[in-house]
Structure 1
């Protein structure tokens, strides 16, 4: 593990990002996590994660965290905010991360957004679309910025998120019309699988095969 490049993780303090951190360490990966607050720093460092402090909304913070001497192979971003958060990181924070990744010659950028973003807008009910419109618009901007950046990318759009233990039934699909729910731990498993080249330059929805809305006919995206 010593000579491997780092995987840079933004959003490791909670939710899907925290679950990704757990799984990456189980896989003996070298992880550098950027945290905005000290709250979970000690816990992540105890796991063997290198922690750097910084706010994704601050370009200088992001560049200082990513453009160090140690090479970064992959960037994974789960950052985002709720509508009441004021200035959200869904677009601007991710834009800063993407731009810094280009400067750092990162090989791959994995961005976690949400079903309802971009061409998956019709997959969620109109009332949900209306409530989430500001956030989804920013996530759409982030997706487009990543695709236009020239970086090798994978965009993963999870359905509704739950915090229960992994079910092992998480699946990916390129079909933007599929929706459902999925546990955060299962999203983390899928994200880590997508570090492989199979998912390069793909936009994928993530759901639990047993928690889909309706009974859609679609093709599962295989990572094997």
Structure 2
């Protein structure tokens, strides 16, 4: 993924964040340490607070979120399974279970997308293992509007850019608890009917065009790989309780 200048400032502050004690340096000092302007540092801190890395209080210095490294895999941020597994201290393995072109048919009960009937898609099914044990399975549907040769091992957002020209800007995600069907159970070495978490994603660009649909299920996550969402807590002062 391409990085902006602002992303570079954030990366440099994150490097300092990982070594911070109770507080981060002041904004002028951060500007000096990162080689960025005060305005760029201030914008970076706003974005880092939104992502849960820091907490800012008016009149005091910025405090780092020290519990964040133990949170697990953040579903509110883009991730790569193999990198997440390795960073948690495990050995990842990616297996391509299926890939190919198909046409989406009306009335198919297994469909999870909202693409028009008859859409040509490049479909992949991938399984990630943790220290040899199956952990997650993802099925991706990438609309095809051009004839290109695609490497199914590549990340879905890269395949979308090649297959339909959409540079994905956002993902909408829905989370459900489902019973594992027989086909996916076999790939995950799990029992059919076992309860699992299912996450369905739609990746789309700034022009609203759909780059991909993806459906993922996971079996019980080992330590360090639980799905986590970090959100800020705001306290409204001066509001009395009933």
- Structure number, greater radius of gyration: 2
| Structure number having the greater helix percentage | 1
What's the TM-score, normalizing by structure 2? 0.25
| Structure number having the greater strand percentage | 2
What's the TM-score, normalizing by structure 1? 0.26
